[in-house]
Structures are given as structure tokens and as C-alpha cells.
Structure 1
């Protein structure tokens, strides 16, 4: 007889204690807020300069990869709604080493990203307070967000909800303003759909430029996987998780494609600058007062939102590592409000370490931190596809319950997603993003060595305990 309530033995149960208070709307806003960051507000110019107008195809392909990823993730997360999420699933269905690598890579990715964001916040605050030392703002905002994460998951979700609302409102405002410039006023020269084919055609850098820009576009979607991490604290995850994932992918795709499309119609792609946001350009064209101040506030909010979410994610991953005995046991202790405070404390060390290194070695530390951060996130995505290949077969073989959401086209779409993502990661070796693999590959090697050393010590420890118990029994027998 089949068991229709298959669960992760010793994994799901181990992570009990976290409060399930998050609603579908909060899950959606957290995921969207994590994905909508400075990459869109400031970095979209880089993607445009890499691909030209064909960047629209790049973002569409990036969205397709994310759609496949979310399909796999939704199915597995509904089956196992834990804070360890894809790390716990990789450990169960692929190999314990896989879970170890995924969770530590995702943890360090978020820890270092938090440090980068908090360092950037100090720069943004200088716009209004140029005479105040940056370290002051680093400590102030770090203290605020640590407090937010330490209070309760509801407090975190409320802050993240409003951070995300500000960013989404800024994007909607940009789309409306851009549409007004294009269609609601007198015709202006150098604006319109002709910009899609001017200055070298739709593919000025060929298919290679379009393909490289797909990788850049994926950075804009990083953070959508946060829904799976929050599932361990979600109300009715069977309903909330699929809804939140679908809404997130659809809205993000719409926002990104519309935003980039409008930007290209207003500003010829050769005029797009890496150091100036498309939002600022539209505001300048409309002669909006204090455009730079408004943009600085939005970017500051984006950085705070990203830092808030990354601190949450890194805390939950460390909590999961502790519960799986891959980290000290005290890191898995929960407060009365269900918050893993010790895991939070360890994760915050990255804030001060990254900020200090960034201040001492600004030219090299940023590249190092971002290189590790980017690799950890991309490696996690790749392992989600790999895990799904193992998950579906083992779930059905063990008689797992019928899940309310399933990845269509299995295993073909899962394999396609893995191939596309792996191809994009390999592509970085031949671009300016080479640093990602230069730091990422040694990082995996280091973790693998650490895992096997730790495993060997555990085996020796258990062997010593067994020997001691055996000797004790023999002595007792002799005394008798």
C-alpha cells in the first residue's frame, strides 16, 4: 500500500518551530522585492550596451529560464515547505554533499551580498549628508535591519512588503511616464519603435551579444527563489507558494520587458549609459524637479530591501545547516517568537566584514564579494534543476501524495533549463564576468574538502564512542 503523505524524514521535522505566518501577498512581494533591485534601476544600461535592441530577446529568454526554474521549484517546495528549501531537497534526493554545497553557497552568496548592499547604502546617503562618515550609515542601517529580522517573521515581511511597494510603484510610474512621453505628447524626434532597428539594426552585436545579455538579465531575476526559503514560514504553502511563484514570474517579466522596451524607444540604445539609470533619463526629459534626489531615494530603498531579504535568506539557510548537523547546534536555536537569533548573529558578521574589506580595499574587495555572491546564486539555480530530475522519480516511486502543482513537460523542460543555465555560466569564462567562475570553482573545491573532513571526523568520533562503549561492557562483564 502506498504512503500518500511522504515527507522528508528528519529534515522537515527538524526544521519545525518556525512560525507559519506569511501570507500569499507577502510571499509575492518579498520575492518581487528581492528580484527588483539596483540591477534594473542602474544596471539595465549594461545589458543594452552588450546586446543593443536585441536585449528585449535577452530578457525574454532570461524570463523563460526563470519560468522553468519556478515550475521545478514550486513542485518541490509544495512537497517540502522548509526553510532549508532547495538545500534540504538536494541533500535528500541527490546526495548529502549536494545539500551541503547548495546551502553554504547560497548562505555565503547572501551574506556577501548584504555586505555589498550596506556599503552601497553609505554611498547613497552621502547625497544628502556628504559630511557624515559612511561607517555611521553602515552601522545605523545595519542595526535597524538586524532588529527587524530579530523581532519576528511578520515584522520582516511588513518592512519588505512596503520596501517592495515603493520599488514597484517606481516601475509603474516609469512605465506611465514613458508611455506619456511616447504617446501622450507631441511627436519628438529620435523616439519610437524605429530605435529598435536604428544604429546597426536589431542585432548590432550579433547573436553572441544577445546571448551574453541573457546572463546579465538573469541577475535581474535573482531573488525569485526566495519564495521557497519563506515557504517554511508560510500559511497553507500548498496554496500560497504556487500562487506567489506564478504572480512573481508574470509580473517581473511584464515589468522588465516593458521598462526596457520603453527605455529603448525614448533613448537610442547607443546613448544608454552604464552609470545613469533609464529612470533618470525619462525624468530629465520630462523636466521633473529633483529627479536625481527622487532616484537616489528609490535606489536607497532598493538596496535596503535587498539587504533585508538577503539577511533573512542567509539566516534561514544557516538555521537549516545547523538542523542538518552541518553547522554547530546552537545556530539552530529559536527565540520565543520563532526566530533563529544565533543564525542571524552569524549571518550579520558578513555585514561588518564586507563593509570593512570594502572600505580598506575598494578596488578588489567588491569584485571578490560579488564574484562569490553571483556564483552562489547561479549554482543554486542549477542545482534546483538537477534536484528536480531526482525528486520527481523518487517521489512517484515512494508513493508520494498527488501534488497540487507539477512541472509540465518533465523531464524535457527540466533538462532544457539546466542546459541553458549551465551554458550561460560557462559563457561567463569568455566575458568580463569571468571572475564568477574564477572564485566559484575554488569555493566548491574548498567546501567539498571541508565536507569530507567533517564526515571523516564524525565517523571517527562514532567509532571511538562505539569502542568506548564496548570496552565498558567488557569491564562490567569481568566485574560480574
Structure 2
């Protein structure tokens, strides 16, 4: 194994289509297939507005991120940019927060996998499935970035194909047959109306919907291993956001017109419930396999993201040098090993709280991702001004409406994070605020012990880089 403190050494093997599928794979996971039940329960049919607003925030986020990522296509990505344009402490906080978010999100997905497997094997403890599937995905990630990308590409393809098939099947049931009297647009206004919990419920569901979009930012993390990042990154980001928005809004609308919203929950996927209600032989089992695939795909991507983020921290001397070592195939295996602690935590939580492990893990995992998103918005404000001031090259993609849309995105996201305090997801802030305090103390301790650490990333040395 070789140590890589320059931040280089990762192989640039990922294509535009692989980048898009990796991001789709991360985002189309339990947030849509299982977490959507939580959002529907909070907002009723108005969850359609919730997901639309959530998609708008993510669209603004991706605009900012695309511009910055083509400027600095590194494995550190938004952490490296925060380090340069805000403060080294900001880069430290955002990278460790993103790392812990991905580590905990691994626990979310593996908890969902345990739920899905109960469909076929109700008597087998969830911990067994956690161990089995974790071993498989750790092996895939440790092999090579190409093996990871291939696995992710085809798993994502299964999910995307399944969603398209679900949309077509749902449309046929709604508009092409007359044998289902209890389905149709009336389900969007019956049972308490379109806004059964008012605007408050709709707004709370916006917060929950953001969990479904977490993962789109992974394209920025993969930029360090992307072929032609100037072309691949913006194309992949744009395609991902619009595909996700269409998939989420269409699938949610069809689901709500077929299944009364009161039936939503997380004891099983709402998608599986749709198949059960339609009474298509074997379809519910097929759908359960698909949502299982979705969870495996997301978990696969999160293992990748967490290991590369830890690798970046090591390259910046904010983590032990051993975590920056690469194996012969260019994979940071030590960083990968450390990033599996979320699996252990999920196994413990699943054993102690088998009925609520998913919601608990989802709550504590969201803070790091949303904090990362907030820093991306803030970084972009400083990045654009500094880039133009320093005479940086003309970038192939620019965020429109600067600085107003950047500020709007940041304010909307901040208000949603504050909203969490008044919901069942209060645990996000109860975990996140102490976490930031801990990291702040750790930053000054590390800086004191390592006073020679470069204040800026080695990959951002001078104007030639930009």
C-alpha cells in the first residue's frame, strides 16, 4: 500500500453515465422507497408540494456545486473549497460532518435491508442480514473503483427501470382500466383534503423529503476519479436532479392515487403496499426485491463516499496518515474499514430498537448532510467573488441568479434545519450541535499538535490550478 498525502493517486476511471448512475443510486434509496411513508404520514397528499420544494432547493444546491466542482475536481470537493474560500476550520467541520453523515446513512440503509428481508424471512433476526450484506458490499468497495462503479451502475439501472415500470403500471391502472373503483385523483382530496395537516404538515414533509435527495452531492466527491470532469460533472448533476424530480413527483402522485395516504408507514415500503392492493400475482415480492436492491445500492455509494472523505481528511493531515494509504488498485482500504462503524452501530440499534431503528438512524444521519449542503451554499458566495477577482478561467458551467438564488437556497435550507427541532426528528439537532462542538475542539487540538499543516489544500496552490 502507498501513502498519499497529496490527495492524488485515485484513478480517474468514472464516466459521465457512471457518475449519473452513482448519484441516482445514492438518492433513489430508502428515502423514496421507505422514507416516503414518513413524509406522506406528515403531510398527506400535499407531500407532492413538499417534494417539489425539496427538489427546488436541491436544484439550487447542484447549480452551486457544479460550478465549484469543475473548478476543483478533487476527492475533497466541497471540503477543499470550504477550506480555501471560508477557513481551514470550515473545511475540517464539513468533511468530518459529511463523513459521519455517510457512515450513519450506511446504518440507515442496512436497517432498511433488515426490514425488507422480513418479508421473506420473518423469523430471522435482522442482525443476520446486516452482517451478510455488509460483508458483500465491503468486499465490492475494497476491490477497485471500477468494480464499485459497475456494481452501482447496474443496481441503479434496476431501480430506475423499476420506477419507470411502476409509473407505467400505475398510469395504466389509473387511466387504462375501470376495474378499480377506489383509485384515482379523488384520493388526493378525500380523507381530510389535500392539506390534512395544513401548511405546517406540508413544510415538515419538505424536511423529510430532503433525505430522499441526499446523495446527489456524491458526484462532487467522485470528481477526483472522473474522466474529463469539466464535461462529466455538470452533465451528470443536471441529469440527476431533473430525473430525480420527475421520478419522485410522478411516483408519489401515482402512489397516493392508488393507496389512501393514511395507509402509509414504514413497517413496509409503500411501493410494496401498492402491489398488494393491485393484487398482481408475485408483484409485491418483485417490488420488495427492487427496494432491497435500492437499499444495497445506496449503501454501496455511502461506503464509497465515506471512505473517500476520510481519505481526503488524511491527505489534508486532519486524520492519521494511515487512512490516506491506497492499495495496489487505488482504493483507500484503511479509510474504508474505519467507515464501516455505521454498520456496527446499526446492528446494535436494530437489536435494541427493532421497531424504530430506521427512523432513529435516519434522524441522526441527516445533520451531517444538511450541514454540508449549507456550507456549500455559503462557500459559493465567497467562491464566485474570489474566482472572478483572481481572474480564474472561464468555467463551462455557472450558477444562474447569483448571489440571490444562492442566498435563497441557503436560507430555505437553514429554516428547514431549524424546523427539525419542532418535529419527531429533533434528534438530528440534539446529535448535530454537540457533534459540531466536539469537532471544533478537535480542530484546535489537532492544529496545536500539527502547527506545520498547510493552511490550504495542496491541490489549490496557485492560479495555474484555477
Give the TM-score normalised by the residue count of structure 2. Answer: 0.91
Secondary structure of the equivalent of 1:14? Answer: coil
How much does 1:131 deviate? Answer: 5.6
| Match runs of 1:91-106 below 5 Å | 91-106=83-98
- Alignment length (residue pairs): 451
Cα 1:322/1:50, change in 2 over 3 Å: same
Unpaired runs of 5+ residues, structure 1, are: 1-11, 463-480
**Partner of residue 113, structure 2:** 121
2:6 equivalent to 1:14: yes
- In 2, distance between residues paired with 1:275 and 1:365? 11
CA distance in 2, matches of 1:388, 1:193: 41
Moved more, 14-23 or 46-55: 46-55
Instruction: Provide, for residues 287-314 of structure 1, a one-character-per-residue CA deviation record: whole Å limited to 9, x for no partner.
Output: 2123342232122211211111110000
Matched residue, 1:433: 425
SS at match of 2:326: coil
Whether 2:222 is the aligned partner of 1:230: answer yes
Mapping of residues 321-470 of structure 1, within 5 Å: 321-360=313-352, 362=354, 369-459=361-451
Greater shift in the superposed pair: 253-262 or 109-118: 109-118
CA distance in 1, matches of 2:453, 2:164: 59
C-alpha change, 1:364 and 1:207, in structure 2 (3 Å) is closer
Q: Name the CA distance, whole Å, in 2 between partners of 1:284 and 1:211.
A: 30
Instruction: Give me the whole-angstrom Cα distance separating, in 1, the residues matched to 2:162 and 2:134.
Output: 24
2:67 corresponds to: 75
The one of 257, 270, 292 aligned to 2:262: 270
Task: Show CA shifts across 1:20-68 (max 9, x none).
Answer: 0000000001101100112211222322222222211111111100000
Asked if residue 198 in structure 1 is aligned to residue 190 in structure 2, the reply is yes
One of 305, 309, 326 as aligned partner of 2:301: 309
> 1:417 Cα shift?
0.1
Q: Which moved more, 1:65-74 or 1:451-460?
A: 451-460
Distance 1:294 1:284 in 2: 11
Report if aligned partners of 1:177, 1:282 keep a CA contact under 8 Å in 2: no
Check the 8 A contact 1:120/1:303 in 2, yes or no. Answer: yes
Structure showing greater radius of gyration is: 1
Deviation of 1:362 (Å): 4.8
What's the RMSD between the two structures over aligned residues? 2.2
| 1:63 and 2:48 matched | no
- Note if contact 2:447-2:453 (Cα within 8 Å) is conserved in structure 1: no
- Quick one: structure 1 residues 217 and 131, their matched pair in 2 at CA, closer, same or farther if it must change by over 3 Å? closer
Moved more, 370-379 or 261-270: 261-270
1:36 lines up with 2:28 in the alignment? yes
Please state if 1:167 is matched with 2:159: yes
- 2:276 is matched with which residue? 284
Q: Tell me the TM-score normalized by structure 1.
A: 0.89
Work out the CA distance in 2 between the residues paired with 1:276 and 1:106.
28
- After alignment, is 185-194 or 329-338 more displaced? 185-194
Tell me whether 154-163 or 120-129 shows the greater mean CA deviation. Answer: 120-129
Distance 1:167 1:315, change over 3 A: same
CA contact (8 A) 2:317 2:453 kept: no
| Partner residue, 1:89 | 81
